[in-house]
Amino acid sequence: MDDAVSAAAAGSAATSVSAVVDRRRSIRAFLDAPVERALVEDLVRRAARAPSGSNVQPWAVRIVDGERMAALRAMMRGLRAAQPGGEPLDPPYQPPGGPPPDWTRRRVRNGEILYGALGIDRTDAAARAAWNEENFQFFGAPVGVFLLMPREAVAWQWMDLGIYLQTLLLLIEEAGLGSCPQADWAMHGEAVARFLGVDPALRLPVGVALGHPDRDAPVNRIRTERDDPLAGDPTASPPPPGAFPC
């Protein structure tokens, strides 16, 4: 373990899981500062302690940084110009019958918070579209982490991937770095997988922007709301006053 990895581990030894969970948020503006490759590899490998059904560990991970990040960004600018709608998603991003009302309500509220912080009016389609393209530049992060899955994976293995992803995000936060998980990369999953040179038997559902957060950026100060997961359970005690939405 090199000095960067050792320092991150030592500096976070007293940090509780609860503190990391409460502190973590999606970061969409990063400093122009490199992240040690050894530290990123250590985080990715430690995240593999995440549980999976029968310990199958269905995931695969690839890291992009440095010159390869520059090449990826250039490729994505051309690809987005030529194919702004992306590739067909399988499965689709939303249920065939449309999302449930609560999902829609939360998504709309999330957009209000995000675009409000960015100072973009909901009627400004050009500004919203320009901001959306930042997804495919990893929001300027120096590191991108791609998670891949076998094409034959079913719902149970996808649940495993979600557990791995959350474990990775919390380890990134513990190390004093920022992250943003991005499903938008699946829109060009086949093209990015070819860029990465991965086995065609793998598919790419998500990328993670990783770097040093720009603490002065308004977009990094937002807190999205959470509803009570026990709402509607008659056996549950009511939450403390003002606890939800939080």
Tens digits of per-residue pLDDT, 104-138?
Answer: 999 999 999 999 999 999 999 999 999 999 999 99
Domain-embedded: residue 111:
no
CATH number, residue 146: 3.40.109.10
Residue 235 lies in a domain: no
Overall pTM > 0.85: yes
Work out the average pLDDT over 238-245: 87
Residue 67 lies in a domain: yes
* Cis status of the peptide bond prior to 245, with omega within 30 of 0: yes
Mean pLDDT of the chain: 94
Q: Is residue 226 part of a domain?
A: no
Residue 125 lies in a domain: no
Q: Is residue 164 part of a domain?
A: yes
pLDDT, one tens digit per residue, over 24-68 is 999 999 999 999 999 999 999 999 999 999 999 999 999 999 999
| Overall average pLDDT of the 149-166 stretch | 98
Identify the residue whose tokens are 């079913």.
154
Flag whether 230 is in a domain.
no
Q: How many domains does the chain have?
A: 1
Q: Is residue 211 part of a domain?
A: yes
- What was the pLDDT predicted at 6? 45
pLDDT digits (tens, 9 = 90+) for 162-186: 999 999 999 999 999 999 999 999 9
Domain span at residue 52?
A: 19-93+137-220
